[in-house]
Amino acid sequence: MIGFTILGIGVAMIVLPGPAILVIPVGLGILATEFVWASRLLKTLKMKFQKFKEGDKRMRPSEREEEYFARMEFVNKKKVEEEKHKKLAEQEKKKLKEMHYMRCPKCGMELIEIDYKNIKIDKCSECDGVWLDAGEMEQVATMDKTGLDKLFSVFKK
């Protein structure tokens, strides 16, 4: 009878404050002296505790699981790093654009934009270099000889 009482107190301690994990095995130990079922239950609990304590391989993740989780962790960290690099690259590109916008690629001085027949031509204020943006060379190439002569006359000193 005392075994049932102690076991009942241990079960109550699961929800109430107290050392249920210690009291329940004590109650089972007392009951195991009288009942076979309590003895079997106590042995099962001892074996499970021992396996848990020793780190039974069935309770640990397999090598494939560990490899999977390690790979997933790497992939996630790599994505975070790529996002950081992308953000830094965008900031760097913006900074360079602000620094070099409308500057001569040869000498670094300011470019003067001249609009000639809907073609925006950039001319350096210092070295007199002439620069075309993407697609403008194709527009110049379609001009006839007189149009090209007039274009070049704009840049003569």
Per-residue DSSP letters for 20-37?
Answer: HHHHHHHHHHHHHTT-HH
* Residue 48 placed within a domain: yes
C-alpha 29/C-alpha 131 separation (Å) is: 94
- The residue range of the domain holding 14 is 2-54
Contact between residue 127 and residue 107 where contact means Cβ atoms under 8 Å apart: yes
For the entire predicted model, the pTM comes to 0.38
> 67 in a domain, yes or no?
no
Please tell me the predicted confidence (pLDDT) of residue 59. 55
Q: Is the residue at 88 inside a domain?
A: no
Does any domain span residue 131? yes
Q: Is residue 130 situated within a structural domain?
A: yes
Contact (CB, 8 A) for 92 and 102: no
Domain count, the chain: 2
Tens-place pLDDT, residues 42-67? 888 888 888 777 765 555 667 788 88
| Band of pLDDT at residue 132, cut at 50, 70 and 90 | confident
Q: Is residue 63 one of the residues assigned to a domain?
A: no
Is residue 78 a part of any domain in this protein?
A: no
Among 54, 71, 86, residue at a domain's last position: 54
Find out whether 140 and 148 touch, Cβ atoms under 8 Å: yes
**Domain boundary, last residue among 19, 36, 54:** 54
Supply angle C-alpha 81, 82, 84, rounded to 5: 65
- Domain membership of residue 84 (yes or no) is no
- Confidence band, pLDDT 50/70/90 cuts, at residue 14: confident
